Amino acid sequence: MSIVEIWADTGQVIEREPTDAEAAQMAADAADAKKAATAAAQAEKAAAEARAAAIEHAKSLGFTDAMIAVMYPNLVVTND
């Protein structure tokens, strides 16, 4: 993959391959990003399970969906 290098003062623009150091940094960045995405997905999964459990408990106490939505708006998850 190529890198675009721009010098704003002279207007020079080049497209080049990464240096060895840049390629190593890009690999490390990709690994960190993947790790962060995995952690975020796990956190969201845990949060979704907690929300579902809270809704189920509220319903066991006799609350309707409409009542839960009004009292605890953060428990109602709208999916994209």
Partner 1 sequence: MTGYTPIYNLPYVEASDLVANYPVVSEELAENVETAIEGSGGLTLITSQTFSASAAVNVNNCFSATYTNYKLVYSIGGSADANLYFRMRVSAADNTASTYSSNYAMVTSAGALTYLNAAAGNFGILTQVDDAKATRGVADIFSPFEAVETALTANAETFRTNSYSVTGGAFHNTASSFDGITLYPSTGNITGYLKIYGYKD
- Minimum gap (Å) between residue 74 Cβ and partner 1: 9
Residue 33 as a binder of partner 1 (CB under 8 A): the answer is yes
Rg (CA), the chain: 24
Among the listed ranges 29-37, 48-56, 57-65, the one in contact with partner 1 (CB under 8 A) is: 29-37
Q: What are the tokens at 28?
A: 């490390």
User: Given CA atoms 67, 71, 72, 78 in this order, what sign does their dihedral have?
Assistant: positive
What does the binding site for partner 1 look like in residue numbers (CB under 8 A)? Answer: 1-11, 13, 15, 18, 22, 25-26, 29-30, 32-34, 36-37, 77-80
